[in-house]
Amino acid sequence: MSNYNGKWKGVIDSILTLPLVLPPTVAGFGILLLIGKRGPVGQFLNLFGFNIIFSWYAAVIAAIVVAFPLMYKTTMGAFEQIDTNILSAARTLGASEWKVFWHVAVPLARPGIAAATALSFARCLGEFGATLMVAGSIPGKTETIPIAIYFATQGGEMEVAIIWVAIIFAISLTVLVINNYWDSYKKKGRYGAGA
Amino acid sequence: MDLLVDIKKKLYGFQLDVSLESQRDIIGILGASGSGKSMMLRCIAGLVKPDEGQIIVNGKTFFDSEKKIDLPIRERKIGFLFQNYALFPNMTVSENIAFGLDHLSKADKKNKVAQLMEKYNLAGLEKRYPTQISGGQQQRIALARAVAVEPDILLLDEPFSALDVHLRNHMIREMSESLKDFQGMTIFVTHNRDEAYQLCDRIAVFNAGKVEAFGEKDKLFQRPVSLETAKITGCKNMAKARKISENTVAVPEWGVRLDSKMKIEHEEGHIGIRANHIRIVDESTKENCFKVWIADESDGPFRTFLYLKIGSQPEKLDDFHFQCEISREQRNEIKDRSGPLYVYLNPEYVFFVEK
């Protein structure tokens, strides 16, 4: 994608980024239209006896759709920041496009990809609106932590809510700490000393 | 070993239209920034595709618009040295050098890398990463990495511009030494005339996307064939001139007549003389001697530039006709002379260009 410069680039880019700016309920509504009982995908799957709406599959799909733009934008940025001379150098040394990608581009973009993963993970974890629309809140099946917190608070069960809040707090913090630590570890190894 | 480049490419602002042919050599491409010299190098490497024409290196067609040939970069067997070296920051020094050696067995690869590390004075740096070593070492790695794949042609894109002056001279000598062993052809792109002269046998002068002149370096520097060549090879004194006789021209801007040893074949053109060829003399006795006043002066650590005006006293600092370069010692000798000086423009060094 970062090498593609055709006239559709702007359009494709916008479509892929759209869920980032849309309210999650709108994204959820779109997914519902597609995979709902009357949606094209939903009807197709129904032929085989599958129903994914209001199942945990739907929650996963909602999370992916909502988090994808973050993953896409951040990863793309990481690839675009690579010095093109370095990629050219690899090609002049006889490397195939496969080797250029996996041995040069991906390692150089790795910090960016890691950051993208962490961000997307956090976004997925916090996903609320779209999930509620397509997966509902079936305790023990499709109830995600943010939804559980919401309903616990609504129902006055503050103790339950606090436990969930603490759990999500711990998970998010751990991910960020690991991400930062890993980042500075890489820098110490290669970019710190000398130069 | 031979090279044929004959390409056209439309760029922002100008058209690259290059035709160059050479045998085994170190060819210098000298031109100002934006003259298209790096672009030509990238076309040869295959990093940029020309609009039309052909590129043939060592009997192998890299590009031919008529036959619809456009060899992929990896099949061209070129060594490209980038201005910023473009080392792989995620790999150690030895991994960098080994990058293009996948076709060798593990043992051969190791041997070859060890050999190159030795040859390029890199021993002990095997496990370091590119950002942990000096600029000179980085350049050696880039060169070792490029020659490791035994390319037919080595393309050097301003490799010294990122180095400081002291290191630059050292690296030029080193490069010159390593290029002696290299069996293929080398094209060296630079905007620095000293580098080009030091490193190359023959030089092509680029101007606005075209080859202005191409030939033996000595000839090129002594007898530039065009105004642009003269300027790019560092001639600071150029003026419009009109032919009077076979060896004499009138220079209206300077208000004088000048003799030249060169046979003047065109009615109009430019006359030129290098700043270091102008002599300060005691009196005006011969032809090509003129009475001059100093309009301005700029001192380097060892050399001094005098900005001189012929005929009358200058009114402001930039009211001058030509520059004269002399040593600081000589400048000190004539310091206490009052009034005008006399200069001698040796006809041997006065050259005439048509355009």
Using 50, 70 and 90 to split pLDDT, how confident is the model at B78?
Answer: very high
The sheet carrying B60-64 orders its strands as B69-70, B60-64, B52-57, B2-10, B15-23, B210-216, B202-207, B26-31, B185-190, B153-157, B78-81
ipTM, two decimals, is: 0.81
Chain A residues touching residue B136 (CB < 8 angstroms):
none
Tokens standing for residue A150: 């919401």
What rounded mean pLDDT belongs to chain B? 90
Rg (alpha carbons) of chain A, rounded to whole number = 21
B282-293 pLDDT, tens digit each: 877 778 899 899
Q: Are residues B154 and B298 in the same domain?
A: no
Domain boundary among B179, B202, B231: B231
User: Out of A85, A104, A191, whose CB is closest to B84?
Assistant: A85
* Closest Cα in chain A, distance from residue B326 (Å): 41
Chain A residues touching residue B146 (CB < 8 angstroms):
92-93
Residue extents of the structural domains in chain A: 9-192
Does residue B187 or residue A3 have the better pLDDT? B187
* Closest Cα in chain A, distance from residue B125 (Å): 12
Q: Are residues B174 and B276 in the same domain?
A: no
The answer to whether the Cα torsion of B45, B47, B48, B50 is positive or negative is positive
pLDDT number for residue B181: 82
Candidate from B17-31, B138-152, B280-294, B341-355 with smallest mean pLDDT: B280-294
CB contact at 8 A, B71 and B61: yes
B316-351 pLDDT, tens digit each: 888 899 999 999 888 888 887 777 889 999 998 999
pLDDT number for residue A5: 63
Helix axes A106-126, A145-154, angle to 10 degrees: 20
Per-residue DSSP letter, B221 = H
Domain boundary among B199, B231, B263: B231
For residue B97, give the chain A residue with the closest CA. Answer: A93
Domain count, chain B: 2
Burial of A156: CB neighbours in 10 Å, binned 0-12, 13-18, 19+? exposed
DSSP assignment of A168-195 equals HHHHHHHHHHHHHHHHHHHHIIIIIS--
Rg (alpha carbons) of chain B, rounded to whole number = 25
Q: Are residues B114 and B209 in the same domain?
A: yes
pLDDT number for residue A188: 56
- Name the H helices within A81-105: 84-92, 97-99
pLDDT number for residue A192: 42
Tokens standing for residue B267: 């009615």
Q: Are residues B223 and B289 in the same domain?
A: no
Tokens standing for residue B265: 């074949």
For each of chain A's 195 residues, which pLDDT tens digit applies? 556 666 777 888 888 888 888 888 898 898 888 888 888 888 888 888 778 888 888 888 899 988 999 899 999 999 999 999 999 999 999 999 999 999 999 999 988 888 888 889 888 888 888 888 888 888 878 888 898 899 999 999 899 999 999 999 998 888 888 878 877 766 655 544 333
CATH number at residue B166: 3.40.50.300
How far is the C-alpha of B55 from the C-alpha of B48, rounded, in Å?
12
Q: Are residues B75 and B155 in the same domain?
A: yes
Determine phi and psi for B304, rounding to 5 degrees: -125, 140
Instruction: Say if the Cβ atoms of A94 and B78 lie within 8 Å.
Output: no
The DSSP bridge partners found for residue B342 are B281, B291
For residue B142, give the chain A residue with the closest CA. Answer: A89
* Closest Cα in chain B, distance from residue A108 (Å): 7
* Closest Cα in chain A, distance from residue B282 (Å): 55
Q: Are residues B195 and B59 in the same domain?
A: yes
**Percent with pLDDT over 90 in chain B:** 49
- Domain residues for the domain of B80 are 2-231
pLDDT over 90 (residue B167): no
Q: Are residues B208 and B259 in the same domain?
A: no
For residue A91, give the chain B residue with the closest CA. Answer: B74
Strands B256-259 and B185-190, by their bridges, are unpaired
Strands B210-216 and B202-207, by their bridges, are antiparallel
pLDDT number for residue B141: 94
Q: Are residues B51 and B192 in the same domain?
A: yes
pLDDT over 70 (residue B261): yes
How far is the C-alpha of B103 from the C-alpha of B353, rounded, in Å?
53
Q: Length of chain A, please? A: 195
Q: Are residues B261 and B222 in the same domain?
A: no
Tracing tokens 């990896």 back to the chain, one arrives at B74
H-helix or E-strand spanning residue B29 = strand B26-31
Cα torsion through B36, B65, B187, B42, rounded to 10 = 50
Q: Are residues B99 and B114 in the same domain?
A: yes
Domain boundary among B205, B231, B257: B231
pLDDT number for residue A141: 81
Fold observed for domain A9-192: MetI-like fold (1.10.3720)
